[in-house]
């Protein structure tokens, strides 16, 4: 173990391991006395609020090799866990192929915080505002354990295992992988890419509702993408919700119910009711569980309504507007219950 050790009076001991394996072994040795620190922005908030005690040993991940790049690889885009939210937000491939990730990051904290905070830290918190957008794109997580790099684990599964307390707490998140999109040619068309084909009718929207219009912790976040095909039926429907301390989740039952069904306005009351049934967020002192569910249900139904409006304005035709990205901070009026 040759990690650099900086003892400074009573201050925490800060360790700078050379790579993820060394960091993992260090954490194993120091146990609960140590904490991994990436940007430290969430940890600092928790320490200041007294919701977590300050650990005597900090294991700095930002200088560890191999976790700070964004690159294309076979099957998708790989984002190192130590890449800052600020870098992600400006990354052209990331924001063009996975626009809702860029959108969610834009709604997270202020630029000065985003320049330090990492995507890995947002994921590892289990409640970060970027998570619903990553869930929407079927993100996978790559972890380091004692043996080395593990096989990618779907984010969806990791969230469930985490909630069940069934994970090795010392594992290090190495990277977030965004799989190649099956509908990528559709995105290119919708974005006015090379093809001479007209734009595909689709919607891709992220919302964050907070206690204030901006620079506010979230109460509810939603991410929705959907298309209407030539037969006037929903396809490629993906819906995720989260916000506050609620575990973000994909609404798989609602997605399955919508895919292949006729896209018309009469479905929307059922969409609302199904979100109310399927989404189970926990309430807190800022917003009750019922407020969160109703807000998520209203946002999701409104997004699909917008898609149906496009169809109507195109006379029911298949091809219509480019990708729609409404103001991410738009939300329903109403007070937290």
Ligand X SMILES: Cc1cc2nc3c(=O)[nH]c(=O)nc-3n(C[C@H](O)[C@H](O)[C@H](O)COP(=O)(O)OP(=O)(O)OC[C@H]3O[C@@H](n4cnc5c(N)ncnc54)[C@H](O)[C@@H]3O)c2cc1C
- Enumerate binding residues for ligand X (CB under 6 A): 35-43, 45, 61, 81, 85, 108-109, 113, 117-118, 120-122, 124-125, 128-129, 172-173, 217
Report in angstroms how near the CB of residue 128 gets to ligand X at its nearest: 4
Separation CA 213–CA 33 (nearest Å): 38
Report in angstroms how near the CB of residue 322 gets to ligand X at its nearest: 28
Choose among 218, 152, 143, 153: nearest CA to 173.
143
Helix ranges (H only) for the chain are 20-30, 41-49, 85-90, 92-97, 99-106, 111-114, 119-124, 131-136, 155-163, 184-190, 252-258, 268-278, 289-313
Report in angstroms how near the CB of residue 333 gets to ligand X at its nearest: 21
Q: Which is nearer to ligand X, 23 or 226 (CB)?
A: 23
For CA atoms 54, 59, 60, 61, give the dihedral sign: negative
Report in angstroms how near the CB of residue 306 gets to ligand X at its nearest: 25
31's CB contacts (< 8 A; 6+ apart) are none
Is residue 248 a contact partner of residue 240, using CB atoms and an 8 Å limit? yes
Is residue 137 a contact partner of residue 179, using CB atoms and an 8 Å limit? yes
Q: Which is nearer to ligand X, 76 or 120 (CB)?
A: 120
Dihedral of the alpha carbons of 37, 128, 120, 176, in degrees to the nearest 10: 170
Report in angstroms how near the CB of residue 38 gets to ligand X at its nearest: 3
For 243: left if phi > 0, alpha if psi spans -120 to 50, otherwise beta; the answer is left
Q: Which is nearer to ligand X, 62 or 306 (CB)?
A: 62
Q: Which is nearer to ligand X, 14 or 113 (CB)?
A: 113
Q: Which is nearer to ligand X, 209 or 271 (CB)?
A: 209
Q: Which is nearer to ligand X, 117 or 200 (CB)?
A: 117
Report in angstroms how near the CB of residue 9 gets to ligand X at its nearest: 23
Report in angstroms how near the CB of residue 245 gets to ligand X at its nearest: 11
Q: Which is nearer to ligand X, 45 or 313 (CB)?
A: 45
Q: Which is nearer to ligand X, 56 or 269 (CB)?
A: 56
Q: Which is nearer to ligand X, 117 or 219 (CB)?
A: 117
Question: Which residue is listed with tokens 């109460």?
Answer: 219
* Token couple for 31: 């146990």
Sequence length of the chain is 337
| Other beta carbons within 10 Å of 47 | 15
Report in angstroms how near the CB of residue 93 gets to ligand X at its nearest: 20
Separation CA 153–CA 151 (nearest Å): 6
Residue with nearest beta carbon to ligand X = 121
Separation CA 190–CA 226 (nearest Å): 13
Report in angstroms how near the CB of residue 103 gets to ligand X at its nearest: 13
Separation CA 301–CA 319 (nearest Å): 21
3-state secondary structure of 303: helix
């Amino acid at each position: 173990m040759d990690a650099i050790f900086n003892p400074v009076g009573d201050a925490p001991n800060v360790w700078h391991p050379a790579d993820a394996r060394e960091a993992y072994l260090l954490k194993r040795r120091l146990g609960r006395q140590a904490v991994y620190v990436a940007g430290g922005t969430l940890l600092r908030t928790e320490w200041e609020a007294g919701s977590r005690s300050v650990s005597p040993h900090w294991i700095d991940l930002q200088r560890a090799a191999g976790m700070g790049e964004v690159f294309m690889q076979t099957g998708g885009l790989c984002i190192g866990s130590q890449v800052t939210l600020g870098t992600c937000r400006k990354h052209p491939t990331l924001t063009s192929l996975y626009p809702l990730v860029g959108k969610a990051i834009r709604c997270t904290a202020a630029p000065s915080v985003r320049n330090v905070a990492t995507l890995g830290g947002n994921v590892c918190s289990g409640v970060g505002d970027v998570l619903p957008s990553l869930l929407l794109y079927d993100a996978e997580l790559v972890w380091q354990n004692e043996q080395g790099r593990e096989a990618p684990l779907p984010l969806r599964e990791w969230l469930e295992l985490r909630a069940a307390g069934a994970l090795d707490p010392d594992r290090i998140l190495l990277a977030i992988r965004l799989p190649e999109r099956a509908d990528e040619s559709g995105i290119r068309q919708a974005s006015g890419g090379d093809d001479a084909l007209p734009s595909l009718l689709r919607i891709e929207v992220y919302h964050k509702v907070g206690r204030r219009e901006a620079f506010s912790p979230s109460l509810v976040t939603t991410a929705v993408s959907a298309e209407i095909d030539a037969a006037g039926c929903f396809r490629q429907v993906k819906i995720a919700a989260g916000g506050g301390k609620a575990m973000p989740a994909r609404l798989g039952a609602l997605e399955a119910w919508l895919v292949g069904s006729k896209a018309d306005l009469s479905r929307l009351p059922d969409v609302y009711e199904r979100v109310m049934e399927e989404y189970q967020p926990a309430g807190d002192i800022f917003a009750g569980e019922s407020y969160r569910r109703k807000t998520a249900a209203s946002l999701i139904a409104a997004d699909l309504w917008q898609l149906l409006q496009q169809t109507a304005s195109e006379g029911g035709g298949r091809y219509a507007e480019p990708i729609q990205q409404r103001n991410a901070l738009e939300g329903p009026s109403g007070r937290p219950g």
